[in-house]
Structure 1
Amino acid sequence: MLATKTRYRIEGMDCASCALKIETAVRRLDGVADVSVAVAAGTMTVTHDGADLVLVEKRVAGLGYGIFALPATTKAATGAPAAPAYAHDHAHAHGPGCGHDHDHSHEGNDHKRHDHHAAAVVAAPSSANDHAHLAGDGPWWTSGKARLALVCGAALAAAYGLGHFYPVLDPWIFIAALSLGLIPIARRAVMAGLAGTPFSIETLMTIAAIGAVIIGASEEAAAVVFLFLVGELLEGVAAGRARNSIRALTALVPKTARLIANGGTREVPAESLTIGDVILVRPGERIPADGAVLEGAGSVNEAPVTGESVPVAKQAGDAVFAGTVNGEAALTLRATTAPSDNTIARVVRLVEEAQESKAPTERFIDRFARWYTPLVVVVAALVAVVPPLAFGAGWDEWIYKGLALLLIGCPCALVISTPAAIAAGLAVGARRGLLIKGGAVLEALCTINAVAFDKTGTLTEGKPVVTDIVTFAGDEAGLLAWAAALESGSTHPLANAILAAAEARGLAIPPVREAAALGGEGVSGTVDGAVLFLGSPKAAGARAGLDAEQEATIRALNAAGKTVAVLLADGRAQGLIALRDEPRADARAGLDALKSAGIRTLMLTGDNERTARAIGADLGIEVRAGLMPADKQRIIGELQREGLKVAKVGDGINDAPALAAANVGIAMGGGTDVALETADAAVLHGRVGDVAAMIALSQATMRNIHQNITLALGLKAVFLVTTLIGLTGLWPAILADTGATVLVTANALRLLGRKA
């Protein structure tokens, strides 16, 4: 049967423990096949078959989180007409003590999703404004968590003041103060227990606070509750920073655009633009949509989107990205994508989807936490009762230590250690145009020790350019102008290269008469009264003899992997033009960066051996040429059997089998949809050096994860020992938990400062 996917925004979800509670609660509902929760994106995707989605919302709201569905439509895999998925626009009454803001609009549209599984989903049109209602909007001090922490702190301060004047009422005053914060915590603990998570942090906190009151430590219990609320607030602030790193991308797109229509220009919302609309962008303004230049020429600062430090020259026919900044000249553009599918929207959408994909380390930590927390409860109970029962120790002392162990053992810091780092790593990559489709891919990139590149469009620009002009008679300008005249009516890539070279030199192209294309040989025509022919050396040699020196020049150029066209005028050789698909400007540096990191590089190409060898020699890379798609896939398998972890980089349909077979498939920017869909990651801006940067980012992220796990477990071990020997109590215990969580999150956020 058809499974349906419904996506939600979740408010107040600031750590992986929150996500685990939500996932467990929703997964237990009838009709729910799968649940995927992304803390960093603040989203939940529910795959279901006839589930009661109102009950899904009630279950999540009962846990103390805000929730609203994102509109989408679903369709059957058979191609049946689309039917509207569940969507709504209403406010939720989340009950007292939720601690979150719920006065929010339920507007917004979901992103289109690529579906690789049995479920099929087609999202409704969306835009960057989907991100306008994420949890954490506005200053942190206006949030529900901040208000609750403030009230609890004020009550604690008042309790200390009143206790000074009425010491006999001390216990009751502090019990009243702690109940302001504990009641909401206890309510969430009960709801989490009923929803399948009995050992949540709220449960541990509630048991510890109530136990402390029972043994007469109500003052300390009140302080611990306050510190717990402050810790939750700090987690929310840190999570908000992580979300803002992605939301900052959406802010690059201007809210309005200047639409040219009906002979005039008017300002319209950028969201209202459609494909084909003509837009005017003035100097200094941000470009509101992906498009192609119709009129005007100037430079565009693409640094906000691509990280390219030097403005890029643009002229008629060139592509521009939404969010980039127009330079010194007005440009008239034609929109080529809908607002919901521009470059920035696609990056944000795919990063959010990637954040819902857990890495192997993250899945292991989740499984570990499910056993770890109950074990902590058992150990804490044994610490509380065994010494008094077996050795006659004081009950109050050891119950107090057992309660402290409950707080020390909370798994929050451990559970957040991996997803926080992965979310930051994915965000950093997205800012640089390094799209990584999930934590599993990010982790796999760390192990790569061989990278196989396609040639055309990956290591090279993907289009030929004129590299040499050799004259046998006359000058270079005249030779190129005559060649351009013959090619002026052709759309062949070699013709385009010759025309581009003539335009770059500012040459006037003379008119041609009696132009004709000679299949497999070249082109001919009459220019300035001379009968011209431009074609292959073989065809030219058959029409006019080439001397030994001319043939030697042709052989040398062919040996360099260049295609040679010979120009004849009235039956005599005038000169030749050599063309080649040149390596990308950063290809050599990018390959050198991989080699310096100890990574093997090789070229897998379907091009001929001679051309491939010439390019390979220029770049210093191992070459395998003349390959069919199946050959590329086979070679990837051979490398893997040698024990190598292989990344395959390509941009075409013929790369798709090898991309799928590699440990990590990486599509180059500008590649085909098939390559982008098949690949695990994408270098959106076509820089070869970004492959090394992507692997380096993965390695930095994994180092960060290992640091976080060490930090989380190390602090717990230290405070476990100090608590058992009586050096620390409840206050340090809660600081060990919330402090470790904040430290781990802050360490993960250091990744956001990476420049490469």
Structure 2
Amino acid sequence: MSQDKDHDSCCSDQGCASSRQPKFKKELTLLHVTAAPSPVKDACCTNESKCKHESGPEESHDTIEEAAGHKGDFIVYGMDCSACAATIEKAVRQTESIAQVQVNYSTGKMKVVAEEAAALDKLSATVEKLGYSLERVQPKGNTRTYAIEGMDCGTCALTIENHLKTHSAVKQVNVHFASGTMTIEHDNPVEEIIKEVSKAGYKASLVSNRRTGEAKKDKTGTNAVAISGFLLLCGFLGSYTGVSQTLINLLYGISIVIGGYRPARSAYYAVKSKSLDMNVLMTAAVIGAAAIGEWFEGATVVWLFALGNILQARSIEKTRNSIRSLIDLAPPEAFVKGGRQLVRKPVEDISVGEIIVVKPGDKIPLDGTVINGESSVNQAPITGESIPVDMHVGDTVYAGTINEHGSLEVAVTKLVEDTTISRIIHLVEEAQEQKAPTEAFVDKFARIYTPIVFLLALVVMVLPPLLGYGNWGEWFYKGLELLVIACPCALVISTPVAIVSAIGNAAKNGVLIKGGAFLEVAGRITAIAFDKTGTLTEGKPKVSQVFATGTTQEELLSIAYALEEYSTHPIAKAVVEFAKENEISPAHGDKFRNRVGKGVVARIGGQEYFAGNLKLFLELHTPLGELESQVRTLQKEGNTIVIVGTADRILGVIAVADRVRKSSVQALGDLQRAGIHQLVMLTGDNEGTAQKVALQTGVTRYFAELLPENKVAAIKQLQDEGHYVAMVGDGINDAPAIATANLGVAMGGAGTDTAMETADIVLMADNLEKLPHTVKLSRKAIRIIKQNIWFSLIIKAAAFILIFPELLTLWIAVISDTGAALIVILNSMRLLKTKN
């Protein structure tokens, strides 16, 4: 068979089957490419001694169920294909005291739950007998995550980091301004870490202690700003009513102390940590203003700076809460069925296997499988799809989704920390913490820019008066203005706030973007390649016709059933399902093997039988006669063909067809309207089927009859043509092509944890509906980031120019700095409101 996912190909690695480069031929009508067949036969793995291809299912990519016992995570070395993973999983499962095991070929990892701790230590010997090796992943030490309040720029994060690194109890620390969190490994008590952060002028709280909702508001900063502003106003009005200048200056001085205490304390620890942040610059400017008798200027600077900090912090907090609000999607409690009674329990106390009851209108508290009842479930919080999905017995439901109609009994399959919504929150928070290339560049620029301007301010204060140009007070004041302008707050904020806003918007619409770097790449994409089966089509093909030529139809289906039974490919499943529907029993077979990209072979009744595509039987030199023209006609009509027979004769042909998704046609049209005109389909299917699907979906180009390694070559060809390429697949079978593309996009992330782990961007729904929104959002984010950067630089340049003609005052400099930062934040927050 020539399906686009290389019929039951056990290897997804491009070097697995052949190193030969594909040959391409082009036509002038609808541009397409056909790959030449690979000369390799029976090549499933590069290491045949390791890969035991007995009949059996492929590896499961779902997360193992949580169970009581001793848990261990391992890295597996030596796996060449997914069949290797299945072999290891089977062997480990049969080991004494092992309760659960999952081997993930894509990530090269194994998770094990054992009844006894000693059983985990014996696994290395078991796996080594199979020809592989294990390395146990040791859990990290006391690593905790804290929420940090009060940060309003990236230098604040650097100050906290540098301060905590001086403590011997702290092993490692990373403070993330964008997400407002700190990840730290430490040996001392939590209270001490919170105390040290407060010394630096910020507030920390342990994330694990905050179940739901926002943190309690700290009003001390607001009160200080209010009192400082009142005293400033009293002093200002007093200057017009004949009050003594000493009293007025005293009011200004108290205003400076109250409003500037927290920034001054932060400045002290910043200097101590060898960090030059905005608090240091502002404190130095205020002290300088007081030193030359400009008490009003100093008090005004302090008040404007403190007010700006509060407004910035609140605005940034809104972007952070766009993600934190996801935590509240799943209810904290659930009704657990105990006999005939329902007991209300916290979700943290519910174990895998327990039965929970979800009433109409309630949110589903945990991931699970429906065991009783029928209903419609709104999955928008997870997938972004607005249309409810009908749920029946056996269907999977997710925590945070809404049960709209009937009552459901659900068997819990994942603990609260392992649910899909929990994984989404975790991945999004990780994504927010990763710096995009633009952000990293701006940070480096700010680290150089700030000390240079600081030194320039000192030169302006000292050099001109020494050379006899003007007086000391005049140039000292200009130097103070330069200190204020030296703060690169707006510039540093320009990128991370936009990225956090965009990632938050995407998450709420059922799209996971793994980091700012991938957001930027998505905005630059010029070509998108799509896997066919399950991406552009429904991925649920059905048998359309059966032709038995050398035997009865019943025997043909019995042999086909036996050959295809252990394959997970959609085409094979369609054949097996059709045989079951017709109550056909499978023939007894053994010695199952794969012909990569061509089909399967097994021994039945002492003779080898094959099921595969036309290429396979041409390679076997099997006489086809008139059957060959009939096969080609069926292929031109859009059918995928499964030929069944021996090396000597053909037993019959099974035609299978797949339907194009309506959502795919709509999505591709939206992408073209968004300006992406290179929409490419990659398929292992025959040319006739590929052309039919291309015409139905509206792709502008297709590559047909591709083996796994050919898909990688097709992606490289697009890149060689100058395109930034995104590859859309299921995150497992298309792993090599996804890894080769500039951007990997996995579809159907809600159904598989592997898709969430492997791709750069994950569409949680099992369709392309949200892909155009992702592209538009990414492009808008890049535009806003550029707007923010240019605006910040222009404001700084204008302030520099206005200093020397004496058109700029100290308090106007503060307004230009804090005002620019606020405008940048508000501009970035527009991304939160971007709709489909």
Q: Structure 2 length as normaliser, TM-score? A: 0.69
Q: How does 1:358-369 map to 2 (within 5 A)?
A: 358-369=435-446
Equivalent runs, 1:455-474 vs 2, <5 Å? 455-465=532-542
Q: Is the 8 A contact 2:162 2:274 kept in 1?
A: yes
Tell me what 1:324 maps to. Answer: 401
The alignment status of 1:147 with 2:223, answered yes or no, reads: yes
Aligned to 2:29: none
- In structure 1, the residue matched to 2:411 is 334
Q: Distance in 2 between matches of 1:352 and 1:209?
A: 37
Give the corresponding residue for 2:689. 611
**What is the CA–CA distance in structure 1 between the aligned matches of 2:501 and 2:197, rounded to whole Å?**
33
* Shift in CA distance, 250/466, structure 1 to aligned 2, threshold 3 Å: farther
Once the two structures are overlaid, the 10-residue window that deviates more, 143-152 or 227-236, is: 143-152
Question: 2:529, 2:679 within 8 Å by CA — same for their partners in 1?
Answer: yes
SS of the aligned residue for 1:293 comes to strand
1:173-231 deviation line (CA, Å, top 9, x unaligned):
3223212233332222121111120x211111111111111111112211211111111
Seq. identity, %? 40
CA distance in 1, matches of 2:350, 2:660: 37
Query: Where does 1:195-344 land on structure 2 (aligned, <5 Å)?
Result: 195-197=273-275, 199-344=276-421
Map Cα deviations across residues 374-404 of structure 1 (whole Å, 9 max, x no partner): 1111222333334434353233223222212
Q: Give the distance between the partners of 1:248 and 1:310, measured in 2 at CA.
A: 22
From 370, 376, 380, the equivalent of 2:453 is: 376
The 1:97–1:404 alpha-carbon spacing in structure 2 relative to 1, beyond 3 Å, is farther
Quote the offset at 1:500 in angstroms. 9.8
Separation (CA, whole Å) in 2 of partners of 1:417 and 1:689: 30
The answer to whether the aligner puts 1:727 opposite 2:807 as a matched pair is: yes
**Matched residue, 2:597:** none
The aligned residue for residue 750 of structure 1 is 830
1:592 corresponds to which of 657, 669, 673: 669
Deviation at 1:748, TM superposition (A): 0.7
Distance 2:191 2:474 in 1: 53
Distance 1:755 1:707 in 2: 20
Q: Which amino acid aligns with 1:149?
A: V
* Match of residue 633, structure 1, among 712, 726, 730: 712
Judged with a 3 Å threshold, the aligned counterparts in structure 2 of structure 1 residues 3 and 377 are, in CA distance, closer, same or farther, namely farther
Are the equivalent residues in 2 in contact too, given 1:178–1:221 (CA < 8 A)?
Answer: yes
Residue 288 of structure 1 deviates from its aligned partner by 1.2
| Offset, 1:143 | 3.1
Give the 3-state SS of the residue equivalent to 1:251 in structure 2.
helix
Kept in 2, the 8 Å contact 1:655–1:675? The answer is no
**Cα offset for 1:553?**
10
1:313 CA drift (Å): 1.9
Question: In structure 1, what is the Cα distance between the partners aligned to 2:358 and 2:304?
Answer: 52
Q: Deviations over 1:273-315 (max 9, x none)?
A: 3322222111111111222222222322223333322222222
Structure 2 counterpart SS, 1:586: helix
Q: 1:2 to 1:563 in 2, by over 3 A?
A: closer
User: Structure 1: 5+ residue runs without aligned partners?
Assistant: 55-86, 110-128, 471-482, 504-508, 521-534, 539-549, 567-575
* C-alpha distance in structure 2 between counterparts of 1:32 and 1:371, whole Å: 28
Is residue 2:246 matched to residue 1:180?
no
Determine the C-alpha separation between the residues in 2 that align with 1:491 and 1:639: 35
> Which deviates further from its counterpart, 28-37 or 370-379?
28-37
Following the alignment from structure 1 to structure 2, what is the Cα–Cα distance between the partners of residues 286 and 131? 15
Q: How far does residue 327 in structure 1 lie from its aligned partner after superposition? A: 1.5
Whole-angstrom distance in 2 between the partners of 1:53 and 1:351: 28
The structural deviation recorded for 1:350 is 0.3
Corresponding residue of 1:21? 159
Distance 1:610 1:519 in 2: 34
Instruction: Give the match for residue 414 of structure 1.
Output: 491
C-alpha distance in 1 between matches for 2:169 and 2:634: 67
Unpaired stretches in structure 2, ≥5 consecutive residues: 1-136, 548-556, 590-610, 615-626, 644-652
Which of these residues, 734, 739, 748, is aligned with residue 669 of structure 1?
748
In the alignment, the residues of structure 1 paired with residue 676 and residue 527 of structure 2 have an alpha-carbon distance, to the nearest angstrom, of 9
Distance 1:595 1:581 in 2: 24
Aligned length: 641
Alignment counterpart, residue 501 of structure 2, candidates 411, 424, 429: 424
The verdict on how the C-alpha distance between 1:387 and 1:537 changes in structure 2, with shifts beyond 3 A counting, is: closer
Asked if residue 693 in structure 1 is aligned to residue 779 in structure 2, the reply is no
1:214-254 Cα distance to aligned partner (Å, 9 max, x none): 11111221121111111111111012101110012121111
Given the alignment, which residue of 181, 187, 192 partners 1:43?
181
Question: Which residue of structure 1 lines up, in the alignment, with residue 208 of structure 2?
Answer: 108
Q: CA RMSD in A?
A: 4.0
1:75 counterpart residue number: none
Q: d(CA) in 2 for partners of 1:536 and 1:442?
A: 41
Given candidates 679, 701, 709, the residue that maps to 1:601 is: 679
Helix, strand or coil at the partner of 2:808: coil
Query: Structure 1 residues 356, 537: CA separation in 2 closer, same or farther (over 3 Å shift)?
Result: closer
Question: Contact 1:259–1:280 (CA<8 Å) still a contact in 2?
Answer: yes
User: CA separation of 1:167/1:741 partners in 2, compared to 1, >3 Å: closer, same or farther?
Assistant: same
Structure 1 residue 3: Cα displacement: 9.8
Measure how far apart 1:412 and its partner are.
0.8
- 2:705 counterpart of 1:623: no
- For residues 687-727 of structure 1, what are the alpha-carbon distances to aligned partners after superposition, in whole Å with 9 as ceiling and x for unaligned? 22433322222111111101111121122222222232222
Q: Distance in 2 between matches of 1:708 and 1:466?
A: 56
**For 1:202, what is the secondary structure of its paired residue?**
helix
| Greater RCO, 1 or 2 (C-alpha within 8 Å, sep 6+) | 2
State the one-letter code of the partner of 1:143: K
Structure 1 residues 576-585 or 201-210, which shifts more? 576-585
2:232 equivalent to 1:156: yes
Q: What SS does the aligned partner of 1:594 have? A: helix
Alignment of 1:511-530 (within 5 A): 516-517=585-586
Instruction: Indicate the SS of the match to 1:267.
Output: strand
Are the equivalent residues in 1 in contact too, given 2:664–2:767 (CA < 8 A)?
yes
Q: Which moved more, 1:158-167 or 1:688-697?
A: 158-167
Q: Equivalents in 1 of 2:335, 2:632: separation in Å?
A: 55
Encode CA deviations 1:607-653: one digit per residue, 9 max, x unaligned: 44443343233223322233333222232223223322211111153
Supply the distance in 2 between the matched residues of 1:654 and 1:579 (Cα, whole angstroms): 20
Kept after mapping to 2: 8 A contact 1:24/1:195: yes
Q: What TM-score do the two structures reach when normalised by structure 1?
A: 0.76
Residue number in structure 1 paired with 2:36? none
Q: Supply the AA of the counterpart residue of 2:267.
A: A
TM-fit CA distance, 1:463: 1.9
Aligned to 2:658: 581
Change (3 A) 1:552 1:740: same
Over 3 Å counting, the alpha-carbon distance change for 1:456 and 1:144 in structure 2 is farther
Residue 269 and residue 498 in structure 1: after superposition, are their counterparts in 2 closer, same or farther (change >3 A)? farther
**Partner of 1:660 in structure 2?**
739
Determine whether 1:681 maps to 2:761.
yes
Secondary structure of the 1:653 match is: coil
Deviation at 1:436, TM superposition (A): 1.3
Shift of the 218–30 alpha-carbon distance from structure 1 to 2, 3 Å rule, reads: same
- The answer as to whether partners of 2:538 and 2:660 remain within 8 angstroms in 1 is yes
Tell me the SS of whatever aligns to 2:528: strand
Report the alpha carbon displacement of residue 536 of structure 1 after superposing the two structures with TM: 12
Correspondence 1:736 to 2:836 = no
Contact 1:647 1:662 (C-alpha < 8 Å) held by counterparts: yes
Once residues 626 and 307 of structure 1 are traced to their aligned partners in structure 2, the CA distance between those partners, rounded to angstroms, is: 34
For the 8 Å contact 2:376–2:390, the answer to whether it is kept is: yes
Q: Distance in 1 between matches of 2:579 and 2:329?
A: 37
> Which stretch of the first structure deviates more once superposed, 332-341 or 672-681?
672-681
- Offset, 1:259: 1.2
Name the CA distance, whole Å, in 1 between partners of 2:545 and 2:483: 76
